[in-house]
A and B are shown apart, each in its own frame.
Chain A
Amino acid sequence: MKKLSTEQIRTGLRKPGAAPVPGADEFWSDFKARARLRNQEQPVEAPVMSISGGWAMALAACAVLTLAGYGLVLFLGGSEPRAPEIQAAESRAPEIQDRELSSVKSLDVEVAHSAVLVMNDELDQGTIVWIVDMQTDDNNEGKGV
């Protein structure tokens, strides 16, 4: 066996392309051969989201309850059905609907009085009903506005 001097070794190492580069097929076949030498664990499958029957029923029940709850709220909170012409007017002028004031539907004063005034303050959004000269049994000195 030929023995190389230190200088020869240095010169040989500096020459480009000294080490052969294996091709991709050769690399992978070599890799697989080495991999077969070791025991490989079975690949773990990624968990797949699945809905069991119980969960499906629970979600369905939840959806039904939610819809029923909102339906009940709408039913209880809704006002009486309005005539088509009123609905059309409201759709044309929604700002008027927002300005609807509190109002008096009926009033029956059962003690002595001289008049009833109803004032709707559109600007300040208030309604005043004033009973003029209202008198009760123990107070007969009512005064007007």
Chain B
Amino acid sequence: MTARIFMVALLVGFLAMPCFAAEEQLSIRLVEATSDEKADAEGLKDIVAILKKNLAYSNYRLLASCTIALPFADEIETRVLGDYTVKLSGPRDNLSVSIFRGNKRALKTTISLQVDKPFMLGGLPGQTGKLILVFLVN
């Protein structure tokens, strides 16, 4: 009987593998938009074309990044990227995002993220230029 239960557990685990394999990841990148010609777009290959086409900046630099598994393990996920703290909660199609600089909240927003469709929130003041937070689910 034990062998049967073991085999059933194995089979269920095998059948459930696609569910685990399909786990989604949310990546957040802090990008600096700059006129500095030395800035390279390393780590931004997938979005640099969109940025250059729609914004007046010619160069972009990746300052920080993080990845979080979806759905979130905690009710509120907090990540620090550069001078900004990002707090996230909810499912990706109704994601609440609060952005803090220091102790002060700069903005809060609710966004719907589609897989492989980047969402960029820009205009945040940075040290030498404007900053952009790039949210991407894949």
Contacts and interface: CB of A to CB of B under 8 A. Distances in A.
Interface in B102-117: 102, 104-114, 116-117
Q: Size class of B's contact patch?
A: 35 or more
Nearest to A62: B8
Contacts of B11: 62
Interface of A: 54-55, 58-59, 61-62, 65-66, 69, 73, 79, 100-111, 113, 119, 121, 124-139, 141-143, 145
B130 interface: yes
B125 interface: yes
B106 A111 contact: yes
B111 A105 contact: yes
A102 B117 contact: yes
A54 B125 contact: no
A58 B117 contact: no
B50 A66 contact: no
A100 to B, nearest CB: 6
Contact of A131 (B7, B15, B16, B124): B124
Given A128-B51, A145-B56, 7 more contacts: A62-B12, A100-B117, A101-B117, A104-B109, A108-B108, A127-B118, A142-B123
Given A62-B8, A110-B105, A126-B50, A132 B123 contact: yes
Given A119-B54, A127-B119, A129-B121, A102 B111 contact: yes
